[in-house]
Amino acid sequence: MALNETIKRNWIETQKKHDVPVNALGVKIDPKDKKTMKVWKEEAIDKFLKK
């Protein structure tokens, strides 16, 4: 299921500010949360981790 484009852009901008995986609200994603981590990787949000 694809994310709404507005949500994806917001999530990318939020992720650029953090050096750990976060959701679109900026809350750290629990590594045990497999569903969110899967979407995070499938939508390529992981490419925007702050380095």
How many domains does the chain contain in total?
1
Angle at alpha carbon of residue 50, lines to 5 and 11, rounded to 5°: 20
10 lies in which domain range? Answer: 5-48
Q: Could you please report the per-residue DSSP string of 1-51?
A: -PPPHHHHHHHHHHHTT-SS-B-TTSPBPPTT-HHHHHHHHHTTGGGG---
Interval 1-51: pLDDT, tens:
688 999 999 999 999 999 999 999 999 999 999 999 999 999 999 999 987
Q: What is the pTM of this model?
A: 0.85
Amino acid 1: pLDDT: 60
Q: Label residues 6-38 b or e (16+ Cβ within 10 Å = b).
A: eebeebeebbeeeeebbbbeeeebeeeeeebee
